[in-house]
Amino acid sequence: MSHGWFDEEAGPIVRPYAMTRGRTRGTVDHPLDLIALVTAETGDQEGAAGTGSDLTDRELAPEHAEIMRRCRRTTESVAELATGLDLPVGVVRVLISDLLDAGLVRVSRPVPASQLQDDSTLREVIDGLRAL
């Protein structure tokens, strides 16, 4: 018997909204840019998961656990995580937000282009270094 949401070879499909419990946004104050870098916190993860987050019983959902596993090995951007997990970016943003709320990851946001130095300043620094 075949259902529209079931593939005999792949097994049952978990819809993205089921992974996020219907949420389309996380609780993070600022949206997570595609190039924001996610790093797993090194510390007492058992204690951190009990900080009032939606992660219950101090147990991570498989998708949360996979993000943690990947970010323990190396810092990854939101886009890299979405690609590696084969999940929509919106879903990954919500999952990362859950992990942020639980204190399990740290996110380094990129510097806005408006705050970057302009080319002339950088050229002056290079010229000054060459003069030494």
Q: List all residues 6 or more positions away from 63 whose beta carbon is below 8 Å from its beta carbon.
A: 19, 85, 87, 91, 95
Query: 24: which DSSP letter?
Result: S
pTM (two decimals): 0.64
Max CA-CA distance within the chain? 77
Are residues 83 and 77 in contact, defined by beta-carbon separation less than 8 angstroms? no
4 pLDDT band, cuts 50/70/90, is low
Q: Hey, is 38 helix, strand or coil?
A: strand
Confidence (pLDDT) at 57: 39
pLDDT one-digit tens code per residue, 5-31:
555 665 556 676 667 766 767 776 767
pLDDT one-digit tens code per residue, 21-76:
667 677 767 678 888 999 998 765 444 444 444 454 356 788 899 999 999 999 99
